[in-house]
Amino acid sequence: MDGLRAGRAPIERYPRESRRKLSARLCEVWQWWQTNCALRDMVCRGLLLLLEHVGQITLPPVSYVRHNPLSKPALPQPVLIETTSIEGALCNLQPLELEPVRRTAQDTRAMGPKPCTCGRTGGITI
């Protein structure tokens, strides 16, 4: 349980720090980085909450509840879809061309994590 001892040390050493700062310190101690070089801060906070729940650690009290505008996103505008019916056999509609755009430059949705360019290696990978 060296990891658990290492986890308790910042909590004992910095008892007045926020849970967010403590989780960031722990991520650095454990070398817990995402592939895009960001700390695995949210995963660490979840782990800290679990450890507190089972009685392994005592976290400082919640110091501030942050407003998250993404928790209540605005509804997107409705997409206008062409509804004119096309009648006839599929073979008469040739040539048809279907182009997948998911996960391409044409995809306008979030593309997921970007590859790490900071050169960090090692640490725990989830």
The pLDDT of 116-126, averaged and rounded, is 54
Given a cut of 80, whether residue 9 has pLDDT beyond it is no
Q: What is the mean pLDDT of the chain?
A: 78
Long-range Cβ contact pairs of 33-41 (< 8 A, separation 24 or more): 33/116, 33/120, 33/123, 34/113, 34/116, 35/113, 35/115, 35/116, 35/125, 36/113, 36/114, 36/115, 36/116, 37/116, 37/117, 37/118, 37/120, 40/124, 40/126
Percent of the chain with pLDDT over 70: 79
Q: Check residue 109 and give its pLDDT.
A: 65
Distances (CA, A) of 42 to 23, 32, 38, 46: 8, 11, 11, 6
Q: Check residue 61 and give its pLDDT.
A: 86
The pLDDT of 57-61, averaged and rounded, is 85
19-30 vs 2-13: helix axis angle to the nearest 10?
140
The pLDDT of 38-60, averaged and rounded, is 89
Q: Check residue 54 and give its pLDDT.
A: 92
